[in-house]
Structure 1
Amino acid sequence: MTGPARPPAPVGGQQPANLGDILERVLDRGLVVVGDIRINLLDIELLTIKLRLLVASVDTARELGIDWWEHDRWLTSGQATERDDD
């Protein structure tokens, strides 16, 4: 009598990663998704949407020189914004 079939072993001897491991890797290294959507009618461009998505931890983003949330008036208090303007 044979038991249930096992899934094939991972290639290279690595253990399968769980969601937490994958999320940790993405936030540590960053993930960029880029795409463009264009709508044309008779060779006339009606609409262009450019999508740029960066998924990373705050530390990784700062290493890449991205810190827009620190200077955005909608995300900071009025006092911090007034000090930045002086």
Structure 2
Amino acid sequence: MTYTSAEPALPHDGTPTGPPSGSLADLLERVLDKGIVIAGDIKIDLLDIELLTIRLRLFVASVDTARKAGIDWWETDPALSTRAAHNALADENERLRRRLAELEPKAADA
């Protein structure tokens, strides 16, 4: 329902009504299904000199909606994913083994 005036819609009995409201669960389901972006900038200036700029971007969505938008950073962040942490440790372990294999012959010759 769309209202075009600032006046609330009045039914035939004269009591004011507002836009149709659903439950909080319905609203949350709709937001997670579609996603919502909240963006803002905070700037601190002193005498026309920019001292600090903070850019805030917030994307609220379900995991499936985020994946459809190409966002999946939580899967590769070692702090959030045990699989990513394991892969990071395996990569570091392999790198250290190669380095050790390079250094062992040099240490034997010395």
When normalised by structure 2's length, the TM-score is 0.61
1:8 equivalent to 2:17? Answer yes
Equivalent positions of 1:1-86 (< 5 A) are 7-8=16-17, 10=19, 15-77=20-82, 78-82=85-89
Unaligned runs of 5+ in 2: 1-13, 95-110
Q: Aligned-pair distance for 1:8?
A: 2.0
Q: How many residues align?
A: 78
Preserved CA contact (<8 Å) 1:40 1:47: yes
**Is contact 1:71–1:81 with CA below 8 Å preserved after alignment?**
no
> Which structure carries more strand by proportion?
1
Aligned partners of 1:36 and 1:50 also within 8 Å? yes
Q: Which has the larger radius of gyration?
A: 2
* Residue 6 of structure 1, CA deviation: 5.3
Q: Which has the higher contact order (CA 8 A, sep 6+)?
A: 1
- Residue deviations 1:23-62, cap 9 Å, x none? 0000000010000000000111011000000000000000
1:42/1:6 CA distance change after superposition, 3 Å: same
Query: Secondary structure at 1:50's aligned position in 2?
Result: strand
Query: Matched residues, percent identical?
Result: 58
In 2, are the aligned partners of 1:35 and 1:51 still within 8 Å (CA)?
yes
* CA root-mean-square deviation: 2.2
Unaligned runs of 5+ residues in structure 1 are: none
DSSP-derived class of the 1:24 partner: helix
Tell me which amino acid in the other structure corresponds to 2:26: D
Taking structure 1 as the reference length, the TM-score comes to 0.77
Q: Which structure is higher in helix share?
A: 2
